[in-house]
Amino acid sequence: MNQRFFVLILVFVMSGASIGRCDDTDEIKRLKDKIELLEAKLQLAERKNQDLNAEIEKLHAAGDDQPGTAEKEKKSLAALGTVWKGKYTGGGISQSAEAKVVARDGKTMTLETSVENGAIMQYECQFTGNDKYKITNTRRVQAAKGAINPAAVGGVTGTGTISKNKLVQNFVWKRAGEPDLQQTFNLSIVAEGKSE
């Protein structure tokens, strides 16, 4: 009887171990399935991340043609309506001056300057960086009081820099039959731009 009892216990122990091994095998299989599912989700997330990064690069490359450009212009250092006041120097004189952004379209702006002597000029400018621009075209709006040749504008070449509170524009005015005139605007902000 002891022998039978021993055999029964042995059979019971062996069958329990088999069941335990079976449970372990099922658990391992479930864990492997979960790992495969998580790996598939990870691969999908990595692909979506790559797609989003590619889209971001396209948006950066496209620049001002994207939606939201007008909003960026409002927040820029040279938003439509921004006004600076300060000093103009040129031809050995120094006068009070004012500059105002009267048009803005992406990386271009039209800057209108007025000087104490009554001269009003518009400079079409192309931004070459976040705070730097070059003058691409010039138009006289009003000649200075007592100007000898009010129609003469000549070629203007120059650059400008805009910081949070300052506008500095250096340029050379080339006039036919006259010496080049080096001019500078050194202005401080008085009103931040407001798009309409």
Q: What is the Cα Rg of the chain in Å? A: 37
Least confident of 33-37, 38-42, 127-131: 127-131
Separation of alpha carbons 177 and 152, rounded Å: 11
**pLDDT given for residue 196 in this prediction:** 38
| Contact (Cβ atoms closer than 8 angstroms) between residue 100 and residue 75 | no
Beta-strand pair 120-127/155-162:
unpaired
**pLDDT given for residue 64 in this prediction:** 47
**pLDDT given for residue 149 in this prediction:** 53
Backbone angles phi, psi at 143, to 5 degrees: -75, 155
- Calculate the alpha carbon distances from 71 to 27, 66, 105, 125, 159 in Å: 56, 11, 11, 20, 25
Report the first-to-last Cα separation within the chain, whole angstroms: 104
Of 95, 92, 85, 84, the residue nearest 119 (C-alpha): 95
- The yes-or-no verdict on residue 51 having pLDDT over 80 is yes
Specify the 3-state DSSP secondary structure of 182: strand
Residue 109's contacts (CB-CB under 8 Å, 6 or more residues apart) are 78, 101, 103, 124, 125, 127, 133
Q: What are the structure tokens assigned to 62, written together?
A: 């496209």
Separation of alpha carbons 136 and 158, rounded Å: 8
Q: Where is mean pLDDT largest: 7-16, 98-107, 142-151, 171-180?
A: 98-107
Separation of alpha carbons 180 and 103, rounded Å: 28
Tell whether pTM > 0.85: no
Fold of 77-191: Lipocalin (2.40.128)
DSSP state of 143: P
**pLDDT given for residue 195 in this prediction:** 40
Q: How many other CB atoms sit within 10 Å of the CB of residue 185?
A: 24
Q: What angle do CA 33, 34, 38 make, to 5 degrees?
A: 120
Beta-strand pair 93-105/132-142:
unpaired
> pLDDT by residue (tens digit) across 62-109?
654 455 555 555 457 788 888 889 888 877 778 888 989 999 888 888
Q: Would you list the domain boundaries of the chain?
A: 2-65, 77-191
At residue 154 the predicted structure's pLDDT band, cuts being 50, 70 and 90, is low
